[in-house]
Amino acid sequence: MRVGLTGGVASGKSTVAAVLRDLGAVVVDSDELAREVVEPGTPGLAAVVEAFGERVRGADGRLDRAALGGIVFADEAARRRLEAILHPLIRARAAEREAEVPAGTVVVHDIPLLVESGQAEAFDAVVVVDVPVRTQVERMVRERGWSPEEARARVAAQADRAERLAAATHVVDNTGTREDLRERVAEVLAELVSPGPGRGPGERL
């Protein structure tokens, strides 16, 4: 069972991934893979520096993520250029990780830009962690110290809420307590392992 997990920034997707891992699923974290493919000396870092210049390489030789973020989140064309470099590298690394997993395992691919990168159809199921946009903005302001304008810009740089929900086979509402969230995630995992009759795309569990 190959499952795509996604959600907007500050939706709690990473928390859901951690719960799924605790419950026995194997989680392939695309953010972790994204860091791996641009480690010093990798073709990925070389390609990013070639595309955006030495300003995105720090004094220690590593990718300066803040500098790169300042470029791509303000320029859609630049973001698309970065995605064209990184996404094939990340997918190749994810395939390597999945190949190491025993048969019969639920493998969850944690992909923030799953919808934006057109990968939804590649999975047996797509789990979307959902919260209202205002909740995303409030969390980023409160937990990350961003301004409301910065938070809304990050939201706008991703697929909108309706697009994500349209791609979902399972939706996890993360507006409740941590206990509520764990219970919902357990229900979703049980449904993925043993699908019941009558479930439709996007049905909330």
Instruction: Say whether pLDDT at 201 is over 60.
Output: no
Rounded CA gap, 166 and 176, in Å?
A: 22
Rounded CA gap, 152 and 140, in Å?
A: 9
Q: Are residues 173 and 88 in the same domain?
A: no
Question: Residue 81: which of 94, 67, 62, 68 has the closest Cα?
Answer: 68
Q: Are residues 131 and 187 in the same domain?
A: yes
- Region 28-49 average pLDDT: 96
Q: Given this model, what pLDDT does residue 74 score? A: 80
Q: Give the list of residues 6+ apart from residue 17 with CB closer than 8 angstroms, or none.
A: 5, 27, 29, 108, 110
Q: Which domain holds residue 132?
A: 1-25+106-205
CATH code: domain of residue 203 = 3.40.50.300
Q: Given this model, what pLDDT does residue 117 score? A: 87
Q: Are residues 63 and 116 in the same domain?
A: no
Q: Are residues 44 and 92 in the same domain?
A: yes
Final residue of a structural domain among 83, 103, 123 = 103
- Region 133-149 average pLDDT: 96
Q: Are residues 189 and 124 in the same domain?
A: yes
